[in-house]
Amino acid sequence: MVDLHSKIMRTPAVKRVYSPFKTSWDFVRRWPVLPGMVLAVLVFVTIFASQVAPHSFRETDLRQRNKPPIWMEGGSSERILGGDVVGRDILSRLIHGARVTVMVAGISLVSGAIFGTAIGLIAGYYGGLIDEVLMRIVDIWFSIPFILFALVVVLSFEPSLQVVLIMLAILAWSAFVRNIRAEVLLLKTTEYVAASRVAGASTLRIMFRHMLPGVFNTILVLASLRVGQLILAEASLSFLGAGIPAPTPAWGVMVADGRNYLDSAWWVSTFPGIAIGLTVMSFNFLGDWLRDKLDPRLRQVA
C-alpha cells in the first residue's frame, strides 16, 4: 500500500492542452463577438454615412437601372451591390438607410423606455387601485394589433417620419411597464426602502433615488431586446407604405421598391432584407447575453 501511494504521489499531473481553435470558440461563445462586430459596423456607417457612401442616395441614372452586383455578369464597380429600379446605388442607400434605422429606433426606444419605466414605477410603488387601472390599460393595449392600429393612424394622417416615431414609441412603452412593475413590487419590501421611509424621504426620492437604480439592469436588457422589434416594425410599416415615405432610404422602403422585380432583379430587395435580418438578430443576441450577465438568477458561473 505504501509503494502504491508513493507511485501515485510521484505521478506527474496531466497538463491540459487547449488548441487555438477551442480557445477562440470558447471566447466567441462567452462574448457576443459576431453581434458586436455587426453593430459596430452599423454604428460606424451611421456616423460616417456621407463619407463612406460612394454615391448620393438620391442620385438616379436610368442607364444603371436594375444593374446587377459587381460579381455577376453585367455588373461593374460603379454599382458594387447593383442598382435599383431607377438606377440608384443600392450600397449607398443601404448605408444612409442605416442612419435612418438607428435614428428612428433610438428615439422611439428612449421615449418608450422613459414613459414605460415611469408607469411601471408608479404602478408597482403605489399598488391598489392605481396599479389595477394602469395594468388594465396595458392589457387593453396588448390586445390591439399594432400593424392594424398603425394603418388606421396613417389613413388619418399623411405618412411621415414624425408619425412613425410616435407609433414606435407607443409600441415600445408597454413592454417596460410589466417588468419594471414586477421588480418594484420586490424592491419596495426591502429594508433600505423601509429605512428611507422612516428617515422621511419623499415618494419621488424613494422611486428615483433608490428604486430606479435597482431596475436599471432590467431596463438595459429590455431595451436591447426591444430595439430589434422596433427595427422590424419600422421596416414592416415602410414596406406597407405606412411608414417612412420615399425617397428616404429606409430599408423597408427599399424592400418594397424591389418586390415586383424579384424574378429579374432580386438584389434590389435581398440586400436590404439581409441588412434588416442581421441587425435584428445581432440586437437579439446582444440582449440575450446581457440578460445572462446582468440577471443573477440566470448568471452562469464560469
What residues does each domain of the chain span?
Answer: 2-294
The confidence score (pLDDT) of residue 290 equals 80
The confidence score (pLDDT) of residue 165 equals 84
Cα 178 to the chain's mean position, in Å?
Answer: 19
Buried b (16+ CB within 10 A) or exposed e, 217-255: bbbebbbbbbbbbbbbbbbbbbbeebbbbeebbbbbbbb
HEC string of the chain equals CHHHHHHHHHCCCCCCCCCHHHHHHHHHHHCCHHHHHHHHHHHHHHHCHHHHCCCCCCCCCHHHCCCCCCCCCCCECCECCCECCCCCEHHHHHHHHHHHHHHHHHHHHHHHHHHHHHHHHHHHHHCHHHHHHHHHHHHHHHCCCHHHHHHHHHHHCCCCHHHHHHHHHHHHHHHHHHHHHHHHHHHCCCHHHHHHHHCCCCHHHHHHHHHCHHHHHHHHHHHHHHHHHHHHHHHHHHHCCCCCCCCCCCHHHHHHHCHHHCCCCCHHHHHHHHHHHHHHHHHHHHHHHHHHHHCCCCCCCC
The confidence score (pLDDT) of residue 302 equals 44
C-alpha cell at 65: 437601372
Beta carbons of 101 and 231 less than 8 angstroms apart: yes
* Radius of gyration of the chain, Cα coordinates, nearest whole angstrom: 26
**Rounded CA separation 116/292 (Å):** 23
Task: Give the Cβ contact number of residue 282 at 10 Å.
Answer: 22
C-alpha cell at 257: 421598391
pTM, full prediction: 0.78
Task: Give the Cβ contact number of residue 298 at 10 Å.
Answer: 11
- pLDDT averages per 10-residue partition of the chain, 302 residues: 52 55 68 83 87 84 83 82 85 88 86 89 87 88 83 79 83 85 85 80 81 84 84 84 79 85 85 89 84 63 44
The confidence score (pLDDT) of residue 301 equals 44
Beta carbons of 230 and 293 less than 8 angstroms apart: no
The confidence score (pLDDT) of residue 14 equals 47
C-alpha cell at 213: 437604480
Q: What crossing angle do the helices spanning 33-47 and 267-294 adopt, rounded to 10°?
A: 120
Superfamily of domain 2-294: MetI-like (1.10.3720.10)
Task: Give the Cβ contact number of residue 193 at 10 Å.
Answer: 19
The confidence score (pLDDT) of residue 104 equals 86
